[in-house]
Amino acid sequence: MLQSLTPILIASPVHRSGTTLLQRLLCSTPNTLIFGETLANDMTFYFSMLHNKQMLLGGEDNWRAQQLEKVLNGDVNDWIPDIMPDKDWLLSRSEQTIYEYLKGFADYAQQHGRPLWGTKLPAWQPGMIRVLLNSMPKSKLLYIVRDLKSCVRSAKLIGYCHTAADVQQYAQMWLANLQAISTYIPKESLLYIDYQRLCEQPGQVIDEIENFTDAQPIDRSVMQYRINNYDRKRDTPPELNTDEQTIVERYQALLT
C-alpha cells in the first residue's frame, strides 16, 4: 500500500532555507500541489508511530496476542495490561490507516487536476526522511541548502535566534542535518538545490527541478517575488555580531 504513494518531499537542514519558495514554484505548475507543513508534521507523527510499532513488535513472540486469545476464551485471571491483536494484523492495520490518510491528499490534488502532490517541512529530521523514503520508495526529495550566514541572518529577523547560544544551536542543526542527509538518503531519490544558485541561475535550476519531479511547466516569474512571511514584508535581515560571525565561520568550515 504505502509503496504505491509518490509524494514530492521538500526539506532543508534548518528553517529560513527556501522551502516555501520551492513550494510556490511547484504549485505554480498546473499539475502539482504541494501541501503545507501540517501534512508533513502528520507524516512524521504517523510514521513515527508505525516505526515504533515495527520495532516493538518485530522481534517478539506475539505474547500479547496469546494473552488476548486466553481472554477471548474466558481466562481473565492473569496480568493483562497490554493485550493486543496479532502483530501482523496490527501492523497491517496501522499501514492501512496511514495509507488511506495520505491517499486522501493525493486524491484531493487529483480532483483539482493536479496528479502530482507532496508536502514540505524545513529542518525535517534526516532519520524521519529516511523512514519516509523507505516506506514510500517512489517518493522524491528536494533538499534545499542555503549558506549558514544567510540562514542565521534571516532567522534573527523573525526572532528565531536571540543570543549567541541560539546561533550555536542553530548552526549545530544546520551542520548535523546536512551531514546526515548525505549519509542516509540514496542519491536516486534526492535532488540537492543550492539556494544561491537558484537565485542566480533560476532557469537552469528550475529545469533540473522539472526534470526530477515532472512538475511542469514551472512559472519562472515566481522568482521575482520574495515573500518572507504571512504579512509579505521584506525587512533587511540584521548583520551578525562578532560572536555570531565566529560561530557561523566555524560551522561553515566544518562542512568543507
State which fold the 2-55+97-255 domain adopts.
Rossmann fold (3.40.50)
Beta-strand ranges (E) seen in 83-208 are 116-122, 140-145, 190-194
Instruction: Using alpha carbons, select from 153, 148, 192 the residue that is nearest to residue 11.
Output: 192
Task: Judge contact between 221 and 140, C-beta under 8 A.
Answer: no
Q: Which of 36-40, 49-53, 222-226 has the highest mean pLDDT?
A: 36-40
> Which residue, chain included where needed, has cell 560561530?
247
Q: What is the pTM of this model?
A: 0.92
Is residue 234 over pLDDT 90?
no
Report how far residue 8's alpha carbon sits from residue 120's, in angstroms, rounded to the nearest whole number: 8
> Which residue, chain included where needed, has cell 512559472?
219
* Top-confidence residue, 234 or 30: 30
Lowest mean pLDDT among 16-30, 77-91, 97-111: 77-91
> Which residue, chain included where needed, has cell 518531499?
9
Alpha-carbon dihedral sign for residues 253, 242, 155, 162: positive
Q: How do residues 59-71 score in pLDDT, each as one tens digit?
A: 666 777 788 889 9
Report how far residue 51's alpha carbon sits from residue 59's, in angstroms, rounded to the nearest whole number: 13
